[in-house]
Amino acid sequence: MNWIDRLERKFGRHAIKGLMTYIVSLNLAVYLIGFIDTRGLIESKLLLIPDLVTRGEIWRLITYIFIPPSASMLWIVFVLYFYYMVGNSLENEWGSFRFNLYYLIGMAGTTIGAFITGIGATAVYLNLSLFLAFAYLFPNFELLLFFILPVKVKYLAWLNWAFLVYTVLFSSMPFKAAAVASVLNYFVFFGKDIFTRSRTNRQVYYNRKSFRAEMPKDFTIHRCTVCGKTEKSDPKMDFRYCSKCQGDYEYCMDHLFTHNHVKVAENSDGKD
């Protein structure tokens, strides 16, 4: 991505290192404050509400990312640790600037979705986009589902994509807009790679199909030199090349040890 490289060269020194550490820490702080603020006044001041933003409460454009998901203490510790691991893994893979940029574009997408729908927003979809990026880069990373069952993150990502597709197809317009906006950063970063890979896979498929169409119907990989048996005539038969025959001669197991070895006649000057 040349434009990202140019941005990084120009603004890379301003990147916030360990961004996810700060975000997770503030999520935990807000969660703990919630035990005192039982009426949820603090959280209501942090929520991204478009109407209030237009009235001057511009801090909401940022503070909504500090609202933790509602959960038990045990679950919130697990969720915040997972956010921390995902964010730091992406930062280690990309560098601080690119991770900052990915998160910033995700915030922009969330803000756009909120203003389109007019509904208050949290960082739920934004954190989902982080997970999708993590699953794209580390598809075989395993999580313990319910702390017991190991599951690769790529399968969980497929479930999330299915949920997003379902939302786009069957939900009302506000939710459609929010779902599309939530993965804006994902497609900015991975869209070109996904398109290129899709086109390559399609070309490979057509090449294989063309090759199989041109292949003779009686084509075989293995054929016994003695009896002519092939893997098609006897699918259970094994075939081997003989190391004592001079040349590429293959035999079925019935004749591998009983055939006459092929020797190439030598010329008068001692050469084959």
Summarize pLDDT for 34-79 with one digit per residue, the tens: 888 878 788 889 999 999 999 999 999 999 999 988 777 878 888 8
CB 145, CB 151: distance < 8 Å: yes
Is residue 207 situated within a structural domain?
A: no
Q: Does 201 fall in a domain?
A: no
pLDDT tens profile 117-152: 877 778 888 888 899 999 999 989 888 776 677 889
What is the mean pLDDT of the segment spanning 175-192? Answer: 82
CA distances from 160 to 5, 125, 182 (A): 30, 11, 12
- Mark whether 49 and 153 lie in a shared domain: yes
Burial 184-213 (b: 16+ CB within 10 A, else e): bbbebbbeeeeeeeeeeeeeeeeeeeeeee
Give pLDDT tens digits for 91-104.
Answer: 999 999 999 999 99
Verify that 118 and 243 share a domain, yes or no.
Answer: no
Q: What percent of the chain has pLDDT over 70?
A: 92
259, 146: one domain = no
Residue with tokens 């909120």: 114
Query: Which has more confidence, 208 or 232?
Result: 232
pLDDT at 148: 76
Tell me, yes or no, whether 23 and 81 share the same domain. yes
pLDDT > 80? residue 212: no
Does residue 105 carry a pLDDT above 60? yes
| Statement to judge: residues 54 and 151 lie in one domain | yes
Q: Is residue 34 part of a domain?
A: yes
> What pLDDT digit, counting tens, does each position of 214-234 carry?
666 667 788 899 998 888 888
Same domain for 162 and 41, yes or no, is: yes
pLDDT for 195: 78
166-192-186-110 Cα dihedral, nearest 10 degrees: -90
pTM comes to 0.70
Provide the token pair at 192: 């070109």
In this prediction, residue 272 carries a pLDDT of 43
Q: Is position 132 within any domain?
A: yes
How many independent structural domains does the chain possess? Answer: 2
pLDDT at 18: 92
Beta-sheet pairing, 149-152 with 142-145: antiparallel
Among 195, 226, 242, identify where a domain stops: 195
Task: Quote the pLDDT of residue 218.
Answer: 66
Q: Is 245 helix (H, G, I), strand (E, B) or coil?
A: coil
The parent domain of residue 139 ranges over 2-195
Within 8 A by CB and 6+ apart from 259, the residues are 225, 226, 242, 251
Tell which residue, 132, 122, 206, has the closest CA to residue 165: 132
How would residue 246 be classed by pLDDT, with cut points 50, 70 and 90? confident
**Closest by Cα among 241, 222, 242 to 231:** 222
- Domain identity same for 168 and 252: no
In terms of domains, do 74 and 184 share one?
yes
Decide: helix, strand or coil at residue 152: strand
Look at residues 109, 104, 131, 129 and name the one whose alpha carbon lies nearest to residue 181.
Answer: 109
Q: Is 181 exposed, middle or buried, given 0-12, 13-18 or 19+ CB atoms closer than 10 A?
A: buried
Say if residue 162 is in the same domain as residue 55. yes
| Encoded amino acid at 166, one letter | Y
Q: Which two tokens stand for residue 184?
A: 């804006």
Whether residue 70 is found in the same domain as residue 189: yes
Do 116 and 224 fall within a single domain? no
pLDDT at 270: 44
As a whole number, mean pLDDT of residues 186-212 equals 76
